[in-house]
Structure 1
Amino acid sequence: MKKEEDIKLNENMSAEEMENLEDRQTVDNEDAVKEVESEEMGESKDSVEALKEENSKLKDQLLRTIAEFDNFRKRTNKEKAELILNGGKKTITDILPVLDDFERALEDKSDDPVAIKEGMQMIFNKFVKTLEGMGVKKIETNEADFNTDYHEAIAMVPGVGEDKKGKVIDCVQTGYTMNDQVIRHAKVAVGQ
């Protein structure tokens, strides 16, 4: 019905009035489009600003994290260097009393060989105890089966009998472990 009324109105209108009406509708449509575009632009500008602000925050956070990591790396390298330079400090501190005992033994003017031997044995025992306190232990080789994890064969002894075959016959140089890790293999002669 409305279309019929619009058609009747359009028939009664002059050409000039029709043009004016079309111009007004075009202007109204353009205004509506501009209004929608400006709303979208406003929202777009707001979202662009929000994204720029978020980007700025993330850049700042990234730069701070990089700086923190760089400081951590420098601090860790410095601590490593200090450990390398001063790592043996505790060991030396533990061994110094043994050195003091040796100095006292050398200053002693005793000619008694038994007393000298007893003094040396006491210093030796103190030194072994100090090493054990640091986790250093002697590798036992007496009547032990040859084990490549702990022993280094430097000689093979033939003709020792079946019961001595594959066993350590003699220890040429004592081996040691530190905290259950071999720091020096025992050099041994093995029965063949």
Structure 2
Amino acid sequence: MSEDRKRPPEAVETETLDAGSPESEVLEEAAVADNGEPTPETRIAELEGEILGLKDQVLRTLAEADNVRKRAAKEVADARVYAVEKFAADLLNVSDNLARALGALPDEEREVLTEAGKNLLGGIEMTQKELHTVLARHGVTAIDAAPGATFDPNMHQAVSQIPSDQPSGTIAETFQSGWKIGERTLRAAMVAVSAGKPS
């Protein structure tokens, strides 16, 4: 009995198939489908999808990190500007008292002051000037509330409306100076708003 006769018929048929024949490719595809593995094309598509997802996550993470960095930089800058807000507000009373002291002496009486009186007056003026310089160095500046200036409810507090030579709706008189720190109003200026020329 020959060797071929001892083998089962299926084994003989399998061995006789060429590696590149259509029957061989069908068997290979069937084997891939049978063991549950995805085809190479499917696997490539899955991996490309994962890559796109990871790229999107990286871009979102970078954008979020940039936003956090910008927010932190703004908070640091704001803290630097507004850290002295309460202290500056307390110093405004000192500025007011100096202004009252200087305003209590009429101009005509300044001329008849003794040398000591003139020195005292000059010292008060220098102290006020230095105080305003120090405040400005820390971002605290006076609000424009001169007669004729445009009334701004964000920076001016109207306590009355009076007839005035100033155009209607502008500031006619200032009762208390106003101050701002950075872009914030530290203390609104107390003013009278012009109602226009008296009739």
Short-chain TM bin? 0.3 to 0.5
TM-score, structure 1 as length reference: 0.46
TM-score, structure 2 as length reference: 0.45
For the pair shown, which has the larger CA radius of gyration, 1 or 2? 1
